[in-house]
A and B are shown apart, each in its own frame.
Chain A
Amino acid sequence: MTETSSHEPAALALENVGKRFGSVIALSDVSMSVPKNQVTCVLGDNGAGKSTLIKILSGVHTPSDGQMYVNGEPTTFTSPREALDMGIATVFQDLATVPLMAVWRNFYLGNEPTRGFWPFKGLRTKYAKESCKAELAEMGIDIRDTEQPVGTLSGGERQAVSIARAVHFGANVLILDEPTSALGVKQSGVVLKHIRNAADAGVSVVFITHNPHHAYLVGDNFYLLNRGQMMAEYTKDNVSREELVKAMAGGAELDALAHELGAKG
């Protein structure tokens, strides 16, 4: 397991974790740690296994091999519910929203605010609608009408709903799988600022992105995943932005690409 500088146990850690889907080996022998109050970025090509990795952290998949630790304790999640109950919230790459349901119903899905006592426990619909709208405005997204079905939102709006929801419920750990892929420049900036603020406020963040510039802006630690294996680990002190860009693009491959494009132009 990778050592962190502090004595505190990492918020999340993986030790020699592997994941197979039938004959497909999506991850093998991956170790990483997500230190508290820091932003840990996971970088890698398409199909490298990033989403599989965070689905293990968020309880969607159970690892085929190896062990996961939460706050230093060996933990096995059998469902995302268990991760959520420990304050681990995730923005999935597919956003995990239900298209036919209203925005506010999606926002609170699985964590609905209720009042009263069973069997007269009712949803606090008015509160849910208003607070949902406020949380989205916080993300820089001004939803017209929270009764609108999520399926009718634009791609970026839908992503913002998913991010705002995770920020709202991720008390301890926030996992974001390419959260800015559909966002405009301004909204991407807002999300990056939220990521940084969350870490400063004591939340541990796992941030997956294809954009090394974004990663370098907010990240404290960087993991590079390739073909299901952990290739490299950097901290902000020992890597420059250029090195990170180069490492992500496969170094020599980028030079070759520059050469190729240059030759054509």
Chain B
Amino acid sequence: MSTATAVDERVSKASPLTRLMRRPEIGALMGALVVYIFFAVADQTGTFFSLDGTARWTDVASTYGIIAIAVALLMIGGEFDLSSGVMIGSSGLFAGLLITEYNIGVWPSIFLTFLFAAAIGFTNGWLVVTTGLPSFIVTLAMFFSLRGINLGVTKLLTDTVRVAGIAELPDGSPRPGYESAKAVFASDFSAYSFRIAVVWWLVLTVLATLVLTRTRFGNWIFAVGGDSNAARNVGVPVRRTKIMLFMYVSMSSCLVGIISLMRLKSMQAGQGVTQEFIFIIAAVVGGCLLTGGYGSAIGGTIGAAIIGMAFIGIAYAQWNTDWTWLFLGLILFVAVLTNSLIRRRFQGARK
């Protein structure tokens, strides 16, 4: 019998390449390279490849990516959230109305909005774990409810379908707190106008990856998505884990809502609607299994990068942007197909 550390003769040594190919996000990473080269070649303006162009596509990717990482973790935990898009609008409107209609300070409003988002996420999660209904249905109901509330409440309070006047007080003077909030959520840096959202995106990618692979909570996320019954039987707090994941998703949407509000200085009642599928696409392209229990946070990030490149690349190639959706559809299909092929090739029986 070999000792605990001795090399086992029954395992062929996994080459670094094989070990790399076993990562869930490897398909997406190769896809991202292909897409990048494709648009660098198709580019008609000569900017896609430049730092200016990079600033543009990472900007699009960052606001998708911040939420896609959370959606990826939730998907690994075995659940969906279809209200993640509409929550961008809900949070932006919530903060905007607190600031303009109720004259609450900018920072307190932002704080209250994160609490609001946490409460919405808690409601999603609590409903899913107590009713046992599929999260697809529960969050679809939340999606429509919030969509209605966004329009209804905004019209009721402002008589329009948008909230405006975030940057100035009614008398035209600058609103206290706006500049500092803008610096945190919506500023630019460097000569190429990289947006601060990119920093949020990358920091959250690193944090989510650490949580997923290096903490107990990360272990529980894989477990509740892989087999929630087994997880409960060995003492994993399944309900708490799922509820916290739903809260993380809505709070990510809230972060993006605040970012948009600070950028645009206003918020439309319909903001964010239809984006929920983009986040799911990003997570799936990034190698998360729709059935749960498998995936990575960085996969969501790479998926979002591909989508960002597509949106900007198609514009730079001077094609009609209507084609973006066709492109996303193809990317989704090809990515999932490649992911499953790679998994079968390099991992044997791993589902």
Residues in B neighbouring A80, C-beta threshold 8 A: 232-235
Q: Is the CB of B222 within 8 A of A101?
A: yes
As a 0/1 sequence over residues 253 to 271 of chain B, the CB contacts with chain A under 8 angstroms (1 = contact) are 0000000000000000000
Q: Is the CB of A112 within 8 A of B349?
A: no
Q: Is the CB of A145 within 8 A of B8?
A: yes
Residues in B neighbouring A90, C-beta threshold 8 A: 233
As a 0/1 sequence over residues 198 to 230 of chain B, the CB contacts with chain A under 8 angstroms (1 = contact) are 000000000000000011101110110011011
Q: Is the CB of B219 within 8 A of A109?
A: yes
Q: Given A109-B231, A130-B5, A133-B4: A98 and B226 within 8 A (CB)?
A: yes
B306-351 interface (Cβ within 8 A of A): 348-351
Contact of B351 among A81, A84, A100, A122 (CB under 8 A): A100
Task: Kindly state the separation between the CA atoms of A163 and B266 in the bound complex, as whole angstroms.
Answer: 60
Q: Is the CB of B216 within 8 A of A123?
A: yes
Q: Is the CB of A114 within 8 A of B223?
A: no
Residues in A neighbouring B236, C-beta threshold 8 A: 81, 109-110
Residues in B neighbouring A145, C-beta threshold 8 A: 8, 11
Is the CB of B293 closer than 8 A to any CB of chain A? Answer: yes
Residues in B neighbouring A81, C-beta threshold 8 A: 235-237
Is the CB of A7 closer than 8 A to any CB of chain B? Answer: no
Task: Kindly state the separation between the CA atoms of A161 and B98 in the bound complex, as whole angstroms.
Answer: 55
B1-49 interface (Cβ within 8 A of A): 1-2, 4-5, 8, 10-11
Q: How many A-B residue pairs have CB under 8 A?
A: 104
Q: Is the CB of A105 within 8 A of B219?
A: yes
Output the residue of B4, B214, B237 with the most chain A CB within 10 A. Answer: B4
Q: Is the CB of B223 within 8 A of A101?
A: yes
Is the CB of B248 closer than 8 A to any CB of chain A? Answer: no
Please give the distance in Å from B72's CB to the nearest CB on chain A.
15
Specify the chain B residue showing the minimal Cβ separation from A162.
B234
Q: Sample 13 A-B pairs with CB under 8 A, ordered by A number.
A: A96-B227, A96-B230, A97-B227, A98-B231, A99-B293, A100-B226, A100-B293, A101-B219, A108-B219, A109-B220, A110-B235, A123-B219, A130-B4
Q: Which residues of A contact B (CB under 8 A)?
A: 58, 60, 79-81, 84-85, 90, 92, 94-101, 105, 108-112, 114, 121-123, 125, 130, 133-134, 137, 142, 144-145, 149, 151-152, 165
**Closest 9 A-B residue pairs measured CB to CB?**
A110-B235, A98-B226, A96-B230, A96-B233, A110-B234, A112-B216, A81-B235, A84-B235, A100-B293
